[in-house]
Amino acid sequence: MFTHERLQRLLLAGAIVASPLILGAWFASCPQYGNPACPDNEHPLAVFAAFRAADAHVLSGFLWLTVIAPYVVPIGYLGLGLVALPRAPWWSLLGMLCGWVGSIPWGFIADSMFHLNTAAQLRQDASFSLLYSRQGLFTPGPIVVVAAGWVLGHLLAHVFLGIALLRAEAIPRWAPSLVIAAAPVMGPIAYGTGIGAFQVLGYVMTFVGSLPAAVVMAKSGGKVPQS
């Protein structure tokens, strides 16, 4: 019998696997793909040129992913945390909290993407460059808070949730190990090398590592038999 509990489990399982796919596809379809800071607001003129040069279908997909991400990504972190919660409550709670902090900035990110796209299409580069400079919208104080929430939130969420899943022994150990390893790949390695493809690779690793957790969630709602 299909119950509301079953529906809840399926939705959480779907969010677990959809979240890394959405973010990986977002970075892969960003008009400035290849730049880890894509789109790089430090150089707005280059951003406007990239948005204008982007394939129309790819850009449309990118903007739709921008809209979808804030609704799905936080649920994905929640789902991963719930799988490990019975056996590793504190690590799970820390991971879910960091995931929530890392998801909040997506509202700001989504808004800025549509602003950048509109600016590019209007071709008023000089005036919009001032708007998106450090003297305009991206003033150091507020933008540092937003950027720190995103970067630290989602990276620490990967680490803490991976540790929680390891301690819970809810899924094979290789899976949470892959989720943990994804954090330095999409963070320090991507930004340290300046190669945006590492960000996409990190989310592919997260997707593969999250599959067993999604299966557990779909089957039992994350309830692992106590030993």
Over the stretch 73-93, which tens digit does the pLDDT of each residue have? 999 999 999 999 999 999 999
Does this model's pTM top 0.85? My answer is yes
Token representation of residue 120: 């590019």
Q: How far apart are CA 152 and CA 71, in angstroms?
A: 20
Which tens digits make up the pLDDT trace of 200-220? 999 999 999 999 999 999 987
Token representation of residue 43: 């150089």
Is residue 141 classed exposed, middle or buried when 0-12, 13-18 and 19+ CB atoms within 10 A define those classes?
exposed
- Supply the mean pLDDT for the chain: 88
- Beta-carbon neighbour count of residue 157 at 10 Å? 28
Q: How far apart are CA 10 and CA 214, in angstroms?
A: 9
Residue 180: pLDDT band (50, 70, 90) is very high
Which tens digits make up the pLDDT trace of 119-164? 888 887 777 776 766 555 666 667 778 778 888 999 999 999 999 9
Extents of the domains making up the chain: 4-219
Predicted local distance difference test score (pLDDT) of residue 98: 96
Q: How far apart are CA 3 and CA 18, in angstroms?
A: 22
Task: Give residues with Cβ within 8 angstroms of 125, minimum separation 6.
Answer: 44, 45, 48, 119
Task: Give residues with Cβ within 8 angstroms of 113, minimum separation 6.
Answer: 39, 62, 63, 66
Predicted local distance difference test score (pLDDT) of residue 148: 83
Which tens digits make up the pLDDT trace of 24-73? 999 999 998 888 878 777 777 888 888 999 999 999 999 999 999 999 99
Q: How far apart are CA 50 and CA 156, in angstroms?
A: 31
Angle at 224 between CA 171 and CA 180, to 5 degrees: 30
| Cα dihedral 42, 124, 117, 60 in deg (nearest 10) | -140
